[in-house]
Structure 1
Amino acid sequence: MSQTTLGDDELFGEAAEEMRADVEEHLDQARAELPAAADVWETEADNVLGVLNGLRSALDAGDAEEHLRQAKKWYTMGERADAFEDAADLAAAIEDLESLIDAIGEAHDDVSDLTNAIPELRGSLQEFEDEETEE
């Protein structure tokens, strides 16, 4: 084996370690952006709209999607370069995090829909009650 090949293999090994570290770092940063379970569950609102607004805010995943995207990018590069000896743990972590972020996004959308619908429904009910009182 020539000196160049040994140096290239060593550099490739270092690059693979750095790539794995980048993936792990972005996964950690994505996890840190996720809402806390208590923030999604507990509330101190005075009415339903306050609860919904608080929940909608709590369901903000911040930059988790961007960090996940970066993790997936570096993971894909490492996989294609066959740089990882065993990357099953990274693949599983990416998949789990992606599913969780998708679920948070769907819940956020559902709560947003309710947040918009409840005031309209309240207004309609109030009008109905007022009409009933007038008769």
Structure 2
Amino acid sequence: MSQATLGDDDELFGEAANEMREDVEASLEEAWAALPAADDVWETDADNVLGVLNGLNSALDAGNAEDHLRDAKKWFTMGKRADAFEDADDLEAEIADLEDAIEDIAAAGEQVGELTSTIPALRGTLEEAGPDENADESDDEE
């Protein structure tokens, strides 16, 4: 094998490494974009608690973020094992941050889902548990 071929291989490897990093960065960007906006989980225009919870539950959808994260992790792992990245700490940190965000969204979604099913039952219990207003009215008439 000639020196020119080895030089070409290094250049090709460098290009591939750059493309791999760009793929990881693009997948991370798409994953972040798929997450709900902060205002979507904070602001509401619902008329009651159940409406707020239903709106929040809808807002707490990570969309395709997990799929994009998986792609980023796949290409990151491949590049890291091939020692293709000169400095991968920033990518690794961003992947960890994104994983944490997705986990937080999923946990919040579970909690909101539980409340969404609990609040109507609680309302019914409280309506039934109070004193019977009709009984008070009949006592007053006597």
2:140 aligns with none
Q: Distance in 2 between matches of 1:3 and 1:15?
A: 18
| 1:22-62 deviation line (CA, Å, top 9, x unaligned) | 00000000010111111111100010000000011111110
Matched residue of 1:72: which SS?
helix
In structure 2, the residue matched to 1:15 is 16
Q: 2:63 corresponds to which residue? A: 62
> Which ranges in structure 1 are unaligned for 5 or more consecutive residues?
none
**Divergent runs of 4+, >3 A:** none
Quote how far apart the aligned CAs of 1:4 are: 1.8
So what's the TM-score if we normalise by structure 2?
0.89
Match of residue 78 from structure 2: 77
Tell me how far apart the structure 1 counterparts of residues 4 and 117 of structure 2 sit (CA, whole Å).
67
Tell me the SS of whatever aligns to 1:46.
Answer: coil
Q: CA deviation at 1:127?
A: 2.1
Q: In 2, distance between residues paired with 1:127 and 1:65?
A: 44
Counterpart-to-counterpart distance in 2, 1:56 and 1:98: 19
- The aligned amino acid for 1:101 is I
Query: Deviations along 1:59-97, whole A, 9 cap, x unmatched?
Result: 111011110111011000000000000111101111111
Larger radius of gyration: 2
After superposition, what is the alpha-carbon deviation per residue over 1:82-129, rounded to whole angstroms, capped at 9, x for unaligned?
000011110111111111111111001100110011111112222223
Q: Counterparts in 2 of 1:68-107, with a 5 A limit?
A: 68-107=69-108
Aligned residue type for 1:105: A
- RMSD value over aligned CA atoms? 1.2
**Equivalent position SS for 2:86:** coil
Instruction: Report percent identity of matched pairs.
Output: 64
Residue type matched to 2:66 in 1? E
Query: What residue identity is the alignment partner of 1:75?
Result: F
Q: d(CA) in 1 for partners of 2:108 and 2:84?
A: 37
Residue of structure 2 in register with 1:113 after alignment: 114
Tell me the matched-pair count.
Answer: 133
